[in-house]
Structure 1
């Protein structure tokens, strides 16, 4: 019996094919990066959480002063995510001191984290064909929801960037090593966004449904991360995972989340209609065609959507994981359409450009089609402009917020820098009923005020209006006086964090 060696021609063809696939994937990643990277420098803020729940705590970890919200006073936030962000915050402050770098570099890191979704989409598609891989990765690279959320330091996009590759690992020729890694990713996603626990559980059960022994390496990988998260909590002087219990207590027993609004169960369906418009019908058709290629993704997406629909307080960002999975499934379905079109000779050369063009054009159109998206792109821009002016003013020695919510602003360091920051708010028990008199008596402590334009009559005569910009649902203006600031006992109780304690905010 003679031994035969492998055909070198076949080996060369496989190597050439692998190189082509890697080049295609690299090109799609560069495309994704090209549309996301500039957004890291665009200072819009989707929600105050990305500043006050993550970047401000990371900033305080580095020994700086920052705004402490009620969530941190009540201990309902974990330290793991701010600790992860502390490195990019420190690097950014070293590159560009003064708050701007500490804001931008973490957003750049979030952009790179989002690329895991594009890579995962490629490999989900590659299970079917190279065509499906290209279309899935292209859709994940350009779809406006995924692009818009990519630079924001929020728990939802960061958790999704961990769950999607974990789903890939546990469904694509899974091995014990892959289950360990997937378990670590899922545990990290849980620590970042524990509200994704039902979706994570559905994914784990679905992946282990036929071979329950795979739960062991999955749990083992997760326990390693949970232990690390516990160590981080202890390092910060808190009981491990006490934040989880406190969060459930505040939001379920004390209904704190309801204070921010309660909407009906169909809210997310309405959101899809508002943001996706009639294109949503096309996407549903594509999902219906493509779900068979990755049925577990559809189950996870629906489980996450249903769970969040049962919660009274709803925000579109909460279901970002479902949005990502729906887009991947729709992309796989649209690739099936390409296969069908290519079976017709007249369509053969145009099928791929046509479907890819539809994805790109729909994404570009929907990115600014609705009033909601236009508002999202501009949210926080006016506040950032006013903050940059204040932060760059060498004459600023103290700043007061007069009847202007702090959460509309981009964080303490970017707003006032080393200057003291005061908050004069009508709901404050120490200010209620005499806010106008209070600003007069405390004004020696600050020479800049941020207030609504119609508050001009309440302010001391020495303050004149300068720049104004859209902040929240109205304009806000900088009012300035000449001269220095003097310490005064009248202003001391109104340092912003003391005011927030009294407001329980």
Structure 2
């Protein structure tokens, strides 16, 4: 009787897992800045621009290859943070906290997939979705990669519920969430077609109208978001394909061989990968469609020259969830060998092993590098904001272009991009604070005093973000050195 009640009602264990997930995610959202600069320049920066009317437009924004759906999704927390603390950074933190809360849907997804088998499977899958490092760290990232995973995983769980119950509303919801995930990151389309075909089968009277209807609503959300910003419907997808596939713009950010993702996963998980292999096989027997979807994500992205780990986040999430379910199968098999059922103690042991593996991956290279990404640029902007009499800021020979974000700077002062010593000398009346690499600070005019460098744990010769300031006001306008004007001239 208790098993039936737990299956139909809201199990308190699920509530505990969600609380655990928040306890892990909120500190990560608060303490980390970003995993990739796209999280700021493609999503937070446009939302900040809607709020303030002032933002930095990168080449992809100027070409119109990005949808406004995610920036408008970020708009409420950006607006709220800016309204509450217009001179601070709350508008940067609240979107990450919002994503952390939305990510609780992935905990439910793990729970729901495990619950189809047993409560023990549900607890294990939900626990892993709550604490595994990829789930926890990427949950609060304000990127299309995270957005797509947060939509698709609950959508997949709802697909299984629809196939189990025949509830048409679940098919509509699943179609909507999967469609939303694909709109957020359309290269996932071929992989997500697999669960669509699996769920629809030959049911053209019931399943397909609901699935396609839900997906159409997701597309409509994108159309309306772009229409609100004066953009033609879905034109951004064609422009994106032309820019990155036909014109190979993405190749400028690096090219990797086809086996790169497999090597990175082996490097990321190291000996943990060997432990995951057998339980992944066991879990795949329960959910072969999910394994096929994960492999399709990796295969599609392996065929593209420019590769980044975050691109296959959906595949990583699915593989980990499948392995979590398989780990309970392995523990149950071991218990049966001794003539016993899986006990709470054994299940706790399984969870402890997962937690230990997650901590191991998160604390070692290459993953541990992620904990400090973006902190030096943020410290640089904080130092700039704290300079008395700030009237203009310039980057001087900074390799990272773009570097200045209006959302991160959060000051209504001119921003300049300068790459030559002659320009810095001529334009010194246009800015009184500069950011430069340590090896180039001597090239700035002598009236700029050294304030400090922003990477305290990095050797001095590697310091790339040092702040300098001069006394006095700014007497000239940025002109051709204006950051947006310079980016357009450089096609960056």
- TM class by shorter-chain length? over 0.9
State yes or no: 1:94 paired with 2:83.
yes
Pair 1:59 & 2:48 matched: yes
Deviations 1:32-74 (A, max 9, x none): 1100001111243211100000000111112331110000100
Question: Can you list the C-alpha shifts for 1:430-484, whole angstroms capped at 9, x where unaligned?
Answer: xxxxx11110010011110000111122100001111102399743200111111
CA offsets 1:268-294 (integer angstroms, 9 cap, x no match): 011111110010111121110111222
Partners in 1 of 2:469 and 2:463 — Cα distance? Answer: 20
After TM superposition, the structure 1 = structure 2 runs for residues 240-259 of structure 1, keeping only pairs within 5 Å, are: 240-259=233-252
Query: Does residue 440 of structure 1 match 2:425?
Result: yes
Where does residue 434 of structure 2 map in the other structure? 449
| Cα separation, 2, equivalents of 1:239 and 1:290 | 44
**For 1:188-207, what aligned pairs fall within 5 Å after superposition?**
188-207=180-199
Partner of 2:15: 26
Alignment of 1:501 with 2:478, yes or no, is no
Q: Which residue of 1 aligns with 2:383?
A: 389
Judging changes above 3 Å, is the alpha-carbon distance between structure 1 residues 162 and 416 closer, same or farther for their aligned structure 2 residues?
Answer: closer
SS at match of 1:422: strand
Aligned pairs for 1:104-119 within 5 A: 104-119=93-108
Answer yes or no: is the 8 Å Cα contact 2:279–2:323 preserved in 1.
yes
Rg larger in 1 or in 2? 1
State the alpha-carbon separation in 1 of the partners of residues 344 and 119 from structure 2.
Answer: 16
The CA deviation at 1:336 is 0.7
Do 2:87 and 2:410's aligned partners in 1 also have CA atoms closer than 8 Å? no
What is the CA distance between 1:194 and its match in structure 2? 1.0
Distance 1:16 1:276, change over 3 A: closer
Instruction: Give the structure 1 partner of residue 445 of structure 2.
Output: 460
Distance change >3 Å, CA 144–CA 467, structure 1 → 2? same
Kept in 2, the 8 Å contact 1:67–1:411? The answer is: yes
CA–CA distance in structure 2, aligned partners of residues 287 and 410 of structure 1: 43
2:24–2:136: 8 Å Cα contact kept in structure 1?
yes
8 Å Cα contact 2:78/2:91 also seen in 1: yes
Name the counterpart of 1:137: 126
- 1:164-215 CA-to-partner distances (Å, cap 9, x unmatched) read 1111111222432211111111221122111111122112012122534411
Structure 1 stretch 138-147 or stretch 36-45: which is displaced more? Answer: 36-45
1:228 matched to 2:221 = yes
Asked whether the 8 Å contact 1:398–1:416 carries over to 2, the reply is: no
Q: Secondary structure at the residue paired with 2:451?
A: strand
Residue 348 to residue 410, structure 1, CA distance change in 2 (3 Å):
farther
Residue 16 of structure 1 deviates from its aligned partner by: 7.2
Task: Pick the aligned partner of 1:357 from 352, 355, 375.
Answer: 352
1:275 has 2:260 as partner: no
Aligned residue for 1:4?
none
Cα 1:307–1:128 shift into 2, 3 Å = same
Preserved contact between residue 99 and residue 414 of structure 1 (Cα < 8 Å): no
Single out whichever of 36-45 and 402-411 deviates more from structure 2: 402-411
Offset of residue 338 of structure 1: 2.0
Partner of 2:14, secondary structure, is: helix
> Aligned residues, how many?
482
TM-score by length of 1: 0.91
CA distance in 2, matches of 1:304, 1:237: 32
The structural deviation recorded for 1:348 is 4.7
1:298-333 deviations in whole A, cap 9, x for unaligned? Answer: 111111110001110000000000011001100000
Q: Secondary structure at the match of 1:475?
A: coil
- For the residues of structure 2 that align with 1:355 and 1:411, how far apart are their CA atoms? 44
- Alignment deviations for residues 84-105 of structure 1 (CA, whole Å, 9 cap, x no partner): 1111110111222225111100
Q: Which residue of 2 aligns with 1:430?
A: none
1:376 aligned onto 2:370: yes
Distance 1:198 1:99 in 2: 42
Preserved contact between residue 263 and residue 312 of structure 1 (Cα < 8 Å): yes
Q: Distance in 2 between matches of 1:47 and 1:474?
A: 19
2:455 to 442, 447, 470: 470
| SS at structure 2 position matched to 1:107 | helix
Query: What residue is the counterpart of 1:264 in the other structure?
Result: 257
Contact map agreement 1:122 1:133 (CA 8 A) in 2:
yes
Q: How does 1:269-348 map to 2 (within 5 A)?
A: 269-343=262-336, 344=338, 348=343
| Partner SS state of residue 62, structure 1 | helix
For normalisation by structure 2, the TM-score amounts to: 0.94
CA–CA distance in structure 1, aligned partners of residues 3 and 209 of structure 2 = 39
Q: Helix, strand or coil: the match of 2:468?
A: strand
* Unmatched tracts of structure 1, length 5 or more: 1-9, 426-434
Give the root-mean-square deviation of aligned CA atoms.
Answer: 2.0
Q: Residues 16 and 504 of structure 1: is their aligned pair in 2 closer, same or farther, counting only changes over 3 Å?
A: closer
* Residue 168 of structure 2: aligned partner: 176
2:177 aligns with one of 177, 185, 202: 185
- Distance, in Å, in 1 between the alignment partners of 2:402 and 2:243 is 23
Residues 1:221 and 1:260: Cα distance change in structure 2 (over 3 Å): same
- Structure-2 separation of matches of 1:71 and 1:160: 23
Cα separation, partners in 2 of 1:499 and 1:410, compared to 1, 3 Å? closer
